[in-house]
Amino acid sequence: MLLDSNEAKISALRIISRCNELAKITCEDIGITRLYLSKEHLIVNKLVGQWMKESGMSVWQDAVGNICGRYNAKFICSPAVILGSHLDTVKNAGRYDGILGVLSGIEIVYWLNKKNIRLELAIEVIGFGDEEGARFGITLLGSRGITGTWKNKWLSYTDNQGISIEQAMIKFGLNIKNIYQASRDKKDIAAYVELHIEQGPCLEQENLPIGVVTNIHGARRFKCSFIGESGHAGTVPMKYRKDALFAFAEWMKYVEYTTIKKNSQLVATVGMISCNPGSTNVIPGIVNFSLDIRGPQDIMLESLSSLLLKQGKVIANNRHLIFEYKEYYRTSEVICDSILRNILCTSIQKIQGKSILLPSGAGHDAIAISERWPVAMLFIRNYRGISHNPEESVDINDIALSLQAYSDGICNIIKKKAEY
């Protein structure tokens, strides 16, 4: 075991204090919001880069704004096992989503370095710059830099101030001509193992601090609109109205009922809505909104999305409105690598007596990385699974236990991978 319980506790205390320090780097007066290519992103990269350096890593910021650290193996050019997660947040976020995984990876390297241990493979820790997609709408822009699957068309995507990714990159100090320099050779990476808060209730229900992820659910995201006719709130009789908000409300009831009825693993969320023109005394003529659906299999997502979108059309027709939608994001289910999973389960059993396998309803950078390398994820229990919420919290003892399991798992994965 790389870490004994005292060392794990020292690291857990440092992780908590660093999460609190990073939580102060936000673009809002209250709450934590840290967006890709923002000035807060740059500040966090510098601070996390310094912590990486102090733990014994060589550090660089790559061509898409990820902060990367490398702890060499016995042989300089050995491939690496990548640890890490994301440093960006959603709006009004919690302080552990993503951050905990990056800081935990740094702690593993800290103790290897302190104990003068060099492994058969290198360890790299990456703080990805954009997993949430909270600024530009598309997600995994950091991890897709590593996999070399960046699309040039993304450069023209804009945030709600009309700033494009291209403009934001230039302001951040990146050269858009170099984006492909972030992509890594297949042979340079052996595996990716991410520690992340569960953001769900399973571990708490099982009364276990840590679990291993079986699969990451797929996702579909749509921009939708009900288009009716705005009118005078006082004069238009109800039966003559083309009220976009009532159509939306009727559709929302259908979304909830149909998703629940179809399958307990399916979820559907309308997280953003704008009602236009947005005056008390005007009948809403247009309602624009987002639709985010998740589920374990593409076929389930396919059938749920077609049901919901078809019903949007039916409701619009019945009310003499128009229903429009555009899909702008999709990821398929990712199955975590079984060899890596089994090694992590063995480490967890050592720590907590039993291991548990569970799905991830949330998306992670592992989705992008899995397109080129084997991935695995460890989940740590977080209070009531609350996440994307300032109430997000993690128990310090769970952090210490997860560090012992994570470090033991990584050392064993490296041993296994070095046999190849």
Contact between residue 261 and residue 311 where contact means Cβ atoms under 8 Å apart: no
Q: HSE-up of 198 (CA within 13 Å, CB side)? A: 30
| Smaller CB separation from Mn ion, 98 or 142 | 98
Helix (H) or strand (E) run with residue 82 in it: strand 80-86
Q: Please give the radius of gyration of the chain, using alpha carbons only, rounded to the nearest integer.
A: 23
By CB under 6 A, name the one of 88, 130, 132, 243 that touches ligand HGY.
132
Query: Rounded CA gap, 88 and 127, in Å?
Result: 9
Q: Is residue 362 within the footprint of ligand HGY (CB under 6 A)?
A: yes
By CB under 6 A, name the one of 26, 55, 104, 139 that touches ligand HGY.
139
Q: Report the residue closest to ligand HGY, judged by CB.
A: 363
Query: Rounded CA gap, 81 and 190, in Å?
Result: 5
62 appears as a binding residue in the annotation: no
Whose tokens are 């589920």? That residue is 295
Instruction: Name the segment binding Mn ion (CB under 5 A); options: 91-99, 298-306, 347-355, 406-414.
Output: 91-99
**Going by DSSP bridges, is the β-strand pair 357-360/210-216 parallel, antiparallel, or unpaired?**
parallel
Q: Is residue 268 within the footprint of ligand HGY (CB under 6 A)?
A: no
220 appears as a binding residue in the annotation: no
Q: What is the DSSP string of 12-44?
A: HHHHHHHHHHHHT--SSSSSB---TTSHHHHHH
# residues near Mn ion by CB under 5 A: 2
Query: Rounded CA gap, 266 and 293, in Å?
Result: 7
294 appears as a binding residue in the annotation: yes
| Smaller CB separation from ligand HGY, 93 or 191 | 93
Instruction: Kindly give the residue spans of alpha helices, DSSP state H, lying in 87-157.
Output: 99-114, 141-147
Q: Quick one: what does residue 98 bind among ligand HGY, Mn ion, none, with the CB cut-off 5 to 8 Å set by partner type?
A: Mn ion
Beta carbon of residue 398, minimum distance to ligand HGY (angstroms, whole number): 20
184 appears as a binding residue in the annotation: no
By CB under 6 A, name the one of 88, 130, 131, 198 that touches ligand HGY.
131
Q: Is residue 97 within the footprint of Mn ion (CB under 5 A)?
A: yes
Instruction: Name the segment binding ligand HGY (CB under 6 A); options: 131-139, 181-189, 340-348, 410-418.
Output: 131-139
Beta carbon of residue 26, minimum distance to Mn ion (angstroms, whole number): 15
Q: Is residue 363 within the footprint of ligand HGY (CB under 6 A)?
A: yes
| Smaller CB separation from Mn ion, 11 or 89 | 89
| Smaller CB separation from ligand HGY, 103 or 362 | 362
Beta carbon of residue 368, minimum distance to Mn ion (angstroms, whole number): 13
Contact between residue 194 and residue 140 where contact means Cβ atoms under 8 Å apart: no
For residue 237, the Cα-to-chain-centroid distance in whole angstroms is: 47
Single out the residue of 203, 174, 242 nearest to residue 402, CA to CA: 203
Residues 364, 365, 367: CA angle, nearest 5 degrees: 75
86 appears as a binding residue in the annotation: yes
Residues near Mn ion (CB under 5 A) are 97-98
Residues near ligand HGY (CB under 6 A) are 131-132, 139, 362-363
